[in-house]
Amino acid sequence: MNGLLIRGAEVNGELLDVRIGHGRVVELGWSLPRADRAEELVEAHGGTLLPGLTDHHIHLFATAADLASASCDPATTPDRAGLAQVLRRARPDGHGWIRGVRYHESTAGDLDAAGLDELRDDVPVRLQHRSGALWVLNSRAAEAVGLSGGDHPGIERDAGGHPTGRLWRADDWLRARLPRGEPPSLAGLSLLLAGYGITAVTDASPELDNGTVKAISAATASGELRQRVLLLGAPLNGSPGPGGTPDSGPGRNRPEAVPWKIVLADSGLPALDDLTEAVAAAHRAGRPVAAHCVTRESLLLFLIALKEAGSLPGDRLEHASLVPADVIPGIRRLGLRVVTQPGFLADRGDDFLRGTPAAEHDELYRCASLRAAGVPLGLSSDAPYGPVDPWAVMRAAVRRRTRSGAVVGPGERLTAAQALDGYLSPGQRPGDAPRRVHVRARADLVLLHTPLGAALDRLDAGIVRLTLVGGHRVA
């Protein structure tokens, strides 16, 4: 592309023309002439031009794999017969395996190997719980990975010491024993994200090995993955970016290390001393921490550890699924950011309400009270475990309505503008003031079909018209 002129766009509340060249916004004005015939012209017709959206918490390869897997979501597969049909119709991959995703026990109970065998037993099957914390293997799969001889603490065993086929937070152990293959392509996911207006993502997978970092880097270098990428799990002993600093050169797109991900698993919390040392070790390496906290116990434990280790600018909470009101001032004093996913309320809020005491319902996926307390708040998908569509997440933040129509914590509703700001804040600083379109800004942009007011009324992915990364069309 030899440059792009967007004519008649709503920019920061004004109708302006926007010239883009060399990966940057180079001019804003009225009635700008085309520089030459090679400059592409786009008539915006009053549609708003925004900085590209950032998904502050997503799992790239898991989401790409999810797109290629058999969906066992209870919303579309609500009973055992439907699940059996999905698994029977699923085509094994090149190694003969079937991978099912987004399973929930409301469909067919707490499945184990024997229960999964009843649904399909002719090929190895692995089924992931929609929380991402549990894999269930049928007997053929269990035999293929040597489950009976496994020593991972997440391998569930019955009273006789025999594996049940259920593996808790054992992704690395399982991955090492699956048939070797190339990581899933990120090209389709990249196009999907671009169609939503997303130009940057933070991969939230913890403790990435060098091979995974190289695979993501290769995908961005080749153009397979067009979005800018930040990595919570980049190794502490190095950074994928030069010196760990942002690479802002035009046309260049290298993953960068951001806060170090620490998972406080609800299935087994770490000892306080161990957690405190993990936080301190990240800080010594110059990395803030991003703590996965989905229960009040994990949140309180992390806050104690952070007080002991000392906080660092950029420390943040991932999910913050349950936040007692009296803890919010402490979160603010420690300077923490929060990256949360209100999309879960629309996706599975009824399950949360059933599984959480009524007194705690207002504590679920807080938004408004955190903002009011001065806690920087970023929104995200947690895909593939939550809905990837940012506009659906924004609607959930505004409405806080479950599938049944119940409203979860009405006092935690955001305005539509506040919800959009949660996706417009910088990837390195989620929850900061939203980015703006200005001269010399990197041309990671999204053009909508409508003015901003109408876009905020709809909060629908259908309003996305054009997405640019570094001035180049992605969608």
Question: Tokens at residue 93, please?
Answer: 């991959």
Burial 250-268 (b: 16+ CB within 10 A, else e): eeebbbbbbbbbbbbebee
- CA 282 to chain CA centroid, Å, is 22
Stretch 73-101: mean pLDDT: 93
Question: Does pLDDT of 239 surpass 60?
Answer: no
Give the 3-state secondary structure of residue 123. Answer: coil
* DSSP structural state of residue 442: B
Give the 3-state secondary structure of residue 379. Answer: strand
- Tell me the C-alpha to C-alpha distance, in Å, between residue 346 and each of 8, 361, 368, 407, 463: 36, 14, 17, 9, 21
H/E stretch holding 15: strand 14-21
Which pLDDT score is estimated for 19?
98
Which pLDDT score is estimated for 181?
78
Stretch 394-407: mean pLDDT: 97
Which of 230, 234, 228 is closest to 252 using CA atoms?
228
Confidence of residue 241 (pLDDT cuts 50, 70, 90): very low
Confidence of residue 419 (pLDDT cuts 50, 70, 90): very high
**pLDDT per residue as tens digits for the range 17-67:** 999 999 999 999 999 999 898 899 999 999 999 999 999 999 999 999 999
Question: Does pLDDT of 82 surpass 90?
Answer: yes
Cβ atoms of 357 and 396 closer than 8 Å: no
Which pLDDT score is estimated for 128?
95
- Give the per-residue SS3 of 55-109: EEEECHHHHHHHHCCEECCCCCCCCHHHHHHHHHHCCCCCCCCEEEEEECHHHHC
Question: Does pLDDT of 428 surpass 50?
Answer: yes
Torsion on CA atoms 412, 417, 421, 424, rounded to nearest 10 = 150
Peptide bond just before 384 cis, omega within 30 deg: yes
Question: Does pLDDT of 247 surpass 50?
Answer: no
H/E stretch holding 473: strand 472-473
DSSP characters over 224-270: SS-SEEEESSS-TT--SSGGG-----TT----EE-SEEEE--TTSPP
- CA 15 to chain CA centroid, Å, is 33
**pLDDT per residue as tens digits for the range 182-220:** 789 999 999 999 999 999 999 999 999 899 999 999 999
Which of 392, 361, 365, 362 is closest to 378 using CA atoms?
365
Which of 259, 297, 294 is closest to 278 using CA atoms?
259
Give the 3-state secondary structure of residue 376. Answer: coil
Query: Which of 127-131, 362-366, 395-399 is least confident?
Result: 127-131
Which pLDDT score is estimated for 242?
40
Question: Does pLDDT of 249 surpass 60?
Answer: no
Q: How far apart are CA 87 and CA 103, in angstroms?
A: 12
Confidence of residue 268 (pLDDT cuts 50, 70, 90): confident
Domains in the chain with CATH codes: 1-50+436-475 (2.30.40.10), 53-60+184-435 (3.20.20.140), 69-177 (3.10.310.70)
Question: Does pLDDT of 353 surpass 60?
Answer: yes
Question: Does pLDDT of 388 surpass 70?
Answer: yes
What spatial distance separates the first Cα and last Cα of the chain, rounded to whole Å?
14
Query: Which of 129-133, 158-162, 257-261, 317-321 is least confident?
Result: 129-133
Which pLDDT score is estimated for 237?
81
- Parallel, antiparallel or unpaired: strands 134-137 and 4-11: unpaired
Query: Which of 168-177, 226-235, 333-342 is least confident?
Result: 168-177
Which pLDDT score is estimated for 471?
95
Question: Does pLDDT of 244 surpass 80?
Answer: no
Stretch 221-244: mean pLDDT: 81
Whole-number percent of the chain with pLDDT over 90 = 88
Which pLDDT score is estimated for 71?
93
Which pLDDT score is estimated for 245?
35
Question: Does pLDDT of 248 surpass 60?
Answer: no
Which pLDDT score is estimated for 432?
97
Question: Tokens at residue 99, please?
Answer: 């991978």
Confidence of residue 243 (pLDDT cuts 50, 70, 90): very low
Whole-number percent of the chain with pLDDT over 70 = 96
